Amino acid sequence: MDPSARQLELTLGPLVVVEVAERFSPGLTGRMDRSYASPPQPRDRALLLAALLLDAAGPLEGDGPWHRAIAGGKRTVRLVATEGSDP
């Protein structure tokens, strides 16, 4: 998409944040737990991001939380409405 066209995008509807938490078994991996929250975005894009993070075979429903096994631990993904909006 042309970057100048992106500046003209208008977001309608509520925005949501994708929250991701990875929890590891330290004895197995030596890795530390970590988490991430995406910038606010339209719900359809947030669901797509969540599906990619979960390697989902099909479309996701609801707001999660959804879980996925990862090497040495577990990934949890959920959608959270931004302040003043409902997903």
Burial 51-65, CB ≥16 within 10 A → b, else e: bebbeeeeebeebbe
Locate the domains of the chain by residue range. 13-81
Q: What pLDDT is attached to residue 87?
A: 45
pLDDT given at position 30: 79
Among 23, 14, 73, residue whose Cα is nearest residue 47? 14
In this prediction, residue 43 carries a pLDDT of 95
Query: What pLDDT digit, counting tens, does each position of 1-59 carry?
Result: 565 555 555 666 789 999 999 999 888 777 889 999 999 999 999 999 999 999 999 89
- Collect all residues with Cβ–Cβ distance below 8 Å to 16 and sequence separation of at least 6: 40, 41, 42, 43, 46, 63, 79, 80, 81, 82, 85, 87
Q: What pLDDT score does 34 carry?
A: 95
